[in-house]
Chain A
Amino acid sequence: MIYTVFVSADDVEEQKEAELIEYAWQRCGQAGELIRLVPSPPGATLPNHSLARAEQTLSWTKHPYIQDYYPGYNVPAALLEWLQRDAIDATILLLESGSILRQAIDQEVEPGASMGHTWNTMPSGDGPFALSEKYTALRAWCVNRDLELPRVQLPLLIHSSDLLKICPRWLELIGLIRTVPDIDTAPPGHPLKLALAIAAAEYRLGIREEDLTSNVIEAEDGGQNYLDYYEAYEAAWANGDHLRSLLPKRRPGVRQACVLDQWYLELGSDTGLVSLNVSAGAIWQLCDGQRTLMDIVETLQATYGIPLKTMMEDVTEAAKILRYQGAINLETVA
């Protein structure tokens, strides 16, 4: 089992990035499950997705004990919480939010056999861990400052047990690195990357460096490749291509009733009875396990004469809600 995991907050910009990751994940045929960890206040409403499963985690955007604002804390903190809470035992493909998986990575890894994308621009010098002297302060907080750091960054392919081992130290080191003088002059991602490399070395994970540029385009340094992919993604959204490969299937055990044109679904003891609005009711009736979401869009458009774009948005949103409620599964088809 491979979990493709990314951490992103629930705001408009990150939602767009999350949908892009979801689109790319589906398009490249990545195996396993897609998980979006959403740092947010307890009880917050989670974003809906067609394929990804959203999991709420505590927000560390502001470190609770250092009072430092840095969204990067959320990555190891959310992973730590999710891995520990759900006792995950699987391969984790950890993506950076905003990155694009354009070629599947279907290789499961055992504990001790991780690999990460090569970080060619890791700062080097005469400081601890052969980093620049800017990081001299790390000497006070690290037992062995002569370790050779793995020159890796996200994406990371790693066994969950290894990831769980290093997450607390990764999180702690970000906080320590953030106190380094002039750290604000370093690229924003450096504390996150450096802390990962040091934690991995201290826990002797031996992460193998791999050039994964053929698999992943990073938003930060993707250049034209990123823009080209994003353009194709927007075109797919505009003409509904992405909906042609999404097949809604009713989940077993869901009971339905129609009273005065109002559809009700009984989803089991936890959720109870839900009523569907007109759009969701119409879509539910067309979920026969044969029609893709685009087939449903076209059927409803022919019936009601609503503009295609509006209908695609309505059907997509209704399908996400039905999936979130547990009424349907959305499967990908070639």
Chain B
Amino acid sequence: MSHSMIELRLLLEGGQSQSLDIAPDSPELARLFHVLGSRSASGAGSDEQFFQLPLDGGKESFSFSSTQLVAISTRPPVLIQFEQQDSAPPPAAQPLIEQIERPHHMVIDDFLGHYEHQDMLAYAMQQADAFDPGTVETGEQQARQNLAILEFAQAAHSRLICNRLLTWLPRILQSFGMAPFPVQQVESQLTASNDGHYYRAHLDADQDRDLRRALTCVYYFSKQPSQFSGGALRIYDAINDGGQRWQADSFQQCESVSNRMVIFPSDSFHELMPIRCPSGKFEDSRFAVTNWIWQQDQPDDALTHGWGHMHCASEPAGRMD
């Protein structure tokens, strides 16, 4: 995941403040926290340091002394851990700067037309016998429990969703700040979640990007009024420390509203919260079509998607005129 700039607000003595954007890996950012952290840890002022920070892309600069610094406010939050030896406060604490990454996500309501949505439901009911238990074992515990049709991608209903999704894709990529890319495939799976079903926090793409899933797009549908509760999708923030990412405790939550598509980067930690469906009836399940948009480096005009008209993007929208 690419790093975005951090919005920094420096509060200085006398009520002065200054806002600026700074790169997360900027040494100046580390120095600022170091100064503040050292003072906090020692309870006294540390050696005075001089700061000069660029403003407005380097057209201006803002200079101040470390002794003037009172507090630092950042967006997104920047977590600091100070390495400590025993319980004695270190003479100069070393900050480990970890940036919380909040994945962008997009919610599209009324994704399908009324009749298409109804047809999806009818299809799911007809296929009741084709659902198999979808389980993932992770050694210590069962990570997932629901029913799935893994070969759903061959169905016309999968192509219907895929075609609509690809129509949205240029706008989705724009919203995510992603450069247009050739689509290798749109993998798709239909699941039914009923009472007690869940899917613990996981990633859909590995961090080494061997699995070229770029975006996960989950389409929810269910009988109305819905006969279940829970089942929300949690998209967790990630803590990035020198390229290593792990799941944070904070998250954004999307309710699985019928006829809603939720899109997020496949390398985001996400979790399906447990569902409660008192009737336990299959038709009262919360259904979801999970689509993974795979990215490839070079366009391949032989590949078609959706109804068969869509090819890999060889030229991104807006750049071909």
Per-position contact with A for B115-153: 1 when CB-CB < 8 Å, else 0?
110110000000000000000000000000000000000
Q: How far is the CA of A175 from the CA of B76 in the complex (A)?
A: 41
Which residues of A have CB within 8 Å of B317?
A: 58-60, 64, 77
Establish whether residues B115 and A179, one from each chain, have CB atoms under 8 Å apart when the complex forms.
Answer: no
Q: How far is the CA of A141 from the CA of B309 in the complex (A)?
A: 12
A153 interface residue (CB < 8 Å to B): no
Which residues of A have CB within 8 Å of B170?
A: 58, 60, 64, 77
Which residues of A have CB within 8 Å of B309?
A: 65-66, 175-176, 179
Kindly name the residue among B110, B163, B167, B316 whose own CB sees the greatest number of chain A CB atoms within 10 A: B167
Q: How far is the CA of A57 from the CA of B170 in the complex (A)?
A: 11
A40 interface residue (CB < 8 Å to B): yes
Per-position contact with B for A45-83: 1 when CB-CB < 8 Å, else 0?
000000000000111111011110000000001001100
Known: A143-B116, A168-B167. A61 touches B321 (CB 8 A): yes
B209 interface residue (CB < 8 Å to A): no
Known: A42-B318, A60-B317. A199 touches B113 (CB 8 A): yes
Establish whether residues A172 and B318, one from each chain, have CB atoms under 8 Å apart when the complex forms.
Answer: no
Establish whether residues B167 and A172, one from each chain, have CB atoms under 8 Å apart when the complex forms.
Answer: yes
Q: How far is the CA of A58 from the CA of B169 in the complex (A)?
A: 12
Establish whether residues B167 and A175, one from each chain, have CB atoms under 8 Å apart when the complex forms.
Answer: yes
Q: How far is the CA of A287 from the CA of B136 in the complex (A)?
A: 71
Establish whether residues B313 and A40, one from each chain, have CB atoms under 8 Å apart when the complex forms.
Answer: no
Interface residues of A (CB under 8 A from B): 39-42, 57-62, 64-67, 77, 80-81, 84-85, 140-141, 143-144, 147, 165, 168-169, 171-172, 175-176, 179, 199, 202-204
Interface residues of B (CB under 8 A from A): 110, 113-116, 118-119, 160, 163-164, 166-171, 174-175, 180, 305, 307, 309-321
Interface pairs (24), CB distance under 8 Å: A41-B321, A42-B318, A57-B318, A58-B170, A58-B171, A58-B317, A58-B318, A60-B170, A64-B313, A64-B316, A65-B166, A65-B309, A65-B313, A81-B174, A140-B307, A143-B116, A168-B164, A168-B167, A169-B113, A169-B164, A172-B164, A176-B309, A202-B115, A203-B114
Q: Nearest 8 CB-CB pairs, A to B?
A: A202-B113, A58-B318, A64-B317, A65-B310, A144-B115, A172-B167, A58-B317, A143-B119
